[in-house]
Structure 1
């Protein structure tokens, strides 16, 4: 499901201290942060929270919350849940529309435009308000196993040749590890010829445009044949993690785990595509301010805002996130720093190829129909044109 992609986007932090079992951020706990981060960045996040809490009377409580999407949907309307949480920027419009977020414009001590890149500052805003603070940019990109690949492919044709060489499903080896029907992960290909999932200006989907359908055909013919038959993320990732594929398409949240498992992984950018340009979706990670802050005691409001300002501007936090985990800084002072490591440089290059995910509330209805349509096209149940036309009709029906 596309929600699996969106869940994984949250993975640029780590497991942190759990509060009492079964108690998710009720109003008696003080200021609470929720996340659904991967385990790999656990130590970093814990160190950052500990540094922030030092000498504070009102400490920040941290909860790791599985299925955070469903938990937020239930908790916030009832006045429970967190005061802040981490997620990509594409929820801003939807959560604004549902009164889930709080406008902290008058509470901030920093100027967004003077502090962050233009894209990051814009990602935190919606309808004139500021609903979070940005702390990193991210995208998915190509990675390769240096034990199987000598150098990154310059063209898609070269990449296909290498995938063909290693692809042998009967012996549990494949050409590529990638959830092939997940719109976020494969956006570099579906948008390569000018197609787009959604147009914020017209407030309409463009998946039934010829340019998008051409991208789906490319994906079906050049990518789909080389991945494991099961498209689920939890099936795809171990293929590369176990050394059974030369390539993976994934994000910074998996790099540490691959290396810890013994894969000599190198992060690179997407290869050239004949007649097009790889155009992946990119995201800005935010510390969101929830509507629980509207009636919160002053000390809780201050703690939530001060945490977001600390984490998004602290040199220690920015550098450790970049150097240890490949997160792309969005603070102006560090965004163009060439000394943050090869991983950051590679992800930054791919971000430069991409387009930012729309934050429009209508975008939330795009993901699943597109994913279903891609699977139908890949499995031969429909042509790419038929599948995308059907998906577009379903999306527009959901908006009505």
Structure 2
């Protein structure tokens, strides 16, 4: 009962703030009065008789409440729910509030639907770049970390801050770092020039096939780009993203494109930017270094390659992703939710358990200090000062054109200036709604259907046409295995995968022989039907 008066105050404040009525707690049993013991009249005892002792008076007994005063509902995945579940009993004991933890898939999309209907959770977990849309929709409540505000890594707090207000309690971060093969080089290069000199020496000696390799064209190449001054979206003085300040065609990005072009012409950098291929080259010692994330650690360790991890040459910085807890702005239990997060989740033990489950550096400094893993500490160092992934819906309009520009540069089909300037114009048009209403099925099949490349949500050649309320398209494809998704409005901002799930898994299909494939998209269910010959 030690926090029942605190709970009463919290609920009264919440009722004034939210206009919600506090559920009536079951009345406590009345206090039991101490028994009154009357001393009987007795004669003075003989000296040898011991004096009689008065009966001990019992303390008043207060019956514990039999029903909780409120309920907190939390959505999490199976990994994190297992860590949060044991906290429920402790919170019930402290606040007499029941905690229900539900395992939910595709949390953001379910939250957007459930929260306005009053059916959402009080607390859930999202990456920071998804929080931006939720804040703009008025679905997130500000969070006050109180005395623990200084216990979190600064840049993780920054990632969840919008208009100067914190909307999430971060618990883990993730970013790329720079791997190098210790059998091939003694230390990581401090500059890209040093990397080129050492890499070419290894190539000339026949010790490696390539001096450098990229595992992607955008996210995975971003540290190289930022080292040249590149950015994607600008930010104002309050840290808010500026959707009209696009840096894809800027000086820094073009400078990075020229560097890639130069390395390709020197036959120093592999022209293959496939993720699996790049990692395989590093794991087999055919390339001396690799830019990779913590998600690649298991396979790199299993390969047995002697590696170390460091910061990027020339101060390059990766994108930063931050996972955090958010509070439903429409919840009647906002103050209780905040108490649960700051008092029960923001602890050294719980945050360390979350780190162990996710293999990502903790955002909570007391837990981070417990991490005795050289790799995790190296990732944390490489991510210091990193650029948070822009929390803008407009980011979905960037990926396709940006990827195409870098691909054209690497393939030698267009100059960095032309490729990136053209990409900038495409992105501006997409953000401006030039392809609003387009329904496309981007995937690994598009180049075979007449697009400049695969995975292009803005390719007119593969856009579906409306037929009786459905969107349909038939295409001739060669035999092979393919993957596909549905994308709307010519960008990746809104896309649907298997079972019509937003940002879901790719559909897969296989053609045993050349033939026609028909795609049928239902805008009501977001399901895609793939008809094979």
Give TM-score scaled by structure 1 length.
0.69
Give distance in 1, aligned partners of 2:354 and 2:284: 25
| 2:494 paired residue number | none
Contact 2:76–2:103 (Cα < 8 Å) also in 1: yes
Q: CA deviation at 1:262?
A: 2.8
Partner in structure 2 of residue 237 of structure 1: 279
The residue number in structure 1 matching 2:252 is 211
1:33 matched residue in structure 2: 76
Q: CA deviation at 1:176?
A: 4.4
Structure 2 CA distance, aligned partners of 1:303 and 1:139?
A: 29
2:386 paired with 1:327: no
Contact 1:138 1:282 (8 Å CA) reproduced = yes
Local SS of the residue matching 1:149: coil
Secondary structure of residue in 1 paired with 2:316: coil
| Equivalent residue number for residue 315 of structure 1 | 348
More strand by share: 2
Q: Relative to structure 1, is the Cα distance of residues 152 and 96 closer, same or farther in structure 2, using a 3 angstrom cutoff?
A: same
How far has the Cα of 1:139 moved from its partner? Answer: 2.0
Give, in whole Å, the separation in 2 of the partners of 1:32 and 1:330. Answer: 20
Does 2:229 match 1:191? no
3-state DSSP class of the match of 2:384? helix
Higher share in helix: 1
1:395 counterpart SS class: helix
Measure, in 1, the Cα distance between the counterparts of 2:249 and 2:101. Answer: 46
Match of 1:376 in 2: 408
Change (3 A) 1:179 1:256: same
Distance 1:339 1:285, change over 3 A: closer
* DSSP 3-state at the match of 1:58: strand
SS at match of 1:285: strand
Structure 1 residues 330 and 72: alpha-carbon distance in aligned structure 2, compared to 1, 3 A threshold: closer
Instruction: Measure the CA separation in 2 of the matches of 1:222 and 1:305.
Output: 54
Counterpart-to-counterpart distance in 1, 2:309 and 2:195: 14
Q: Is the 8 A contact 2:125 2:323 kept in 1?
A: yes
Residues 136 and 330, structure 1, Cα contact 8 Å, conserved in 2: yes
Distance in 1 (CA, whole Å) between partners of 2:150 and 2:170 is 13
The reply on whether 1:89 has 2:125 as its aligned counterpart is no
1:306 is the counterpart of 2:340 = yes
Q: Give the whole-Å Cα distance in 2 for the aligned partners of 1:112 and 1:131.
A: 15
Contact 2:349 2:367 in 1 (8 A): no
Task: Tell me how many residue pairs correspond in the alignment.
Answer: 342
What is the Cα deviation at residue 214 of structure 1? 0.6
Q: Is the 8 A contact 1:255 1:325 kept in 2?
A: no
Looking at CA atoms only, which structure, 1 or 2, has the larger radius of gyration?
Answer: 2
* 1:136 is aligned to 2:169: no
Q: Is the 8 A contact 1:139 1:283 kept in 2?
A: yes
Q: Deviations over 1:56-90 (max 9, x none)?
A: 75342335x5xx5xx744x3443289745544322
Secondary structure of 1:60's aligned partner: strand
Q: Is the 8 A contact 2:83 2:353 kept in 1?
A: no
Runs of 5+ unmatched residues, structure 1: 1-29, 36-41
From 317, 321, 345, give the equivalent of 1:279.
317
**Residues 389/113 of structure 1: CA separation in 2 closer, same or farther (3 Å cut):** same
What TM-score results when the alignment is normalised by the length of structure 2? 0.54
Q: Which residue of 2 aligns with 1:48?
A: 83
1:155 aligns with 2:191: yes
Once the two structures are TM-superposed, the CA of residue 155 in structure 1 deviates from its matched residue by: 3.1
Query: What value does the CA root-mean-square deviation take over the aligned residues?
Result: 4.0
Cα distance in 2 between the residues matched to 1:109 and 1:196? 31
Q: Does residue 397 of structure 1 match 2:429?
A: yes
1:176-197 CA distance string (max 9 Å, x none)? 4542302x22222212232322
Query: Aligned residue for 2:454?
Result: none
Query: Alignment partner of 1:254: what SS?
Result: helix
